[in-house]
Amino acid sequence: MVNVRLLSSNTVKATGLIFASLFAWYLGYFFAEILPEDSLQTAIGSVQRIGEKPVVKAPLPKKQKCAVWRNCLPSEVVYSVRSGGSKSTLPKICLEDEILLGTAKQPGDRGFNFIVVNPETLKVTDTKTFDMYEGEYSGPMVEFINQIPNGFIILVASHDDPFTKLSDAAKKAFEDLGSKEIRNLKFRSGFVFLAIKGGTVPEYLEREKLIHSDSSRNRYGGWPAEIQIDGCLPRK
């Protein structure tokens, strides 16, 4: 025997579901007619973007002058001075992203390598290398230092051996430029130096560095590793 109450209840539920579906369809049709198409597309796009993960784009790396990771101001000059290592690893000097020493045209050599720069134009005015292992070049080096105009920038990088033939007068000339380490040099020490003739380099800047040859720690057998100073020198 059919349960009349159960049948009646199921009929009511089915009828309600049909009316609810028809009402939902009607509402959708109604809003589609009264709303502009671009509004609908915007709404649909917004719903789709809810599930999307935000993509964070990293900024492109900024090119660093002289490969120095410092943010120098427009009122400053970027410099980098690196000593030589082995016989084949020559010194390198860079100023404002221009390689002044360490190129095929200007490779540098054994001893002290000097680059002299006009502070106003930032142009190289003189380049000299003084061998401190063979020959007697301490005297000419002192004369060279003395004739550099006051205010000019002096960058020095050693290679191989800057010590053997270095005279006391030459050490004094470096001290007059502000060197604190020149008398501590030894055979095949690495040495880098920044000076302003007749002036002073700000205390907060890297101005000088020294490394000694040590057979137990050398990177290149009889030669120590390269050393480097770099920074942002205030423009004149």
Report yes or no: 151 and 197 within 8 Å, Cβ to Cβ. Answer: yes
Q: Which residues contact 179 (CB under 8 A, 6 or more apart)?
A: 193, 195, 208
Do 46 and 77 have their domain in common?
A: no
For residue 79, pLDDT over 70 is answered with yes
Q: Give the residue numbers spanning the domain of 134.
A: 73-234
For residue 135, pLDDT over 70 is answered with yes
Instruction: Look up the pTM and report it.
Output: 0.74
For residue 30, pLDDT over 60 is answered with no
Do 77 and 46 have their domain in common?
A: no
Task: List, in sequence order, every beta strand (DSSP E) within 123-222.
Answer: 124-130, 153-159, 190-196, 208-211
Do 100 and 19 have their domain in common?
A: no
pLDDT of 174-191, one tens digit each? 999 999 999 999 999 999
pLDDT of 216-235, one tens digit each? 889 998 899 999 999 999 99
Please report how the helices 168-176 and 138-146 are oriented relative to each other, as an axis angle in degrees rounded to 10. 20
Q: What six digits make up the tokens of 40? A: 């609908």
Is 62 within the bounds of a domain? Answer: no
Closest CA to 191 of 104, 87, 112: 112
CA distances from residue 30 to 3, 17, 86, 132 in whole angstroms, order as listed: 41, 20, 84, 95
Is 59 within the bounds of a domain? Answer: no
Do 92 and 174 have their domain in common?
A: yes
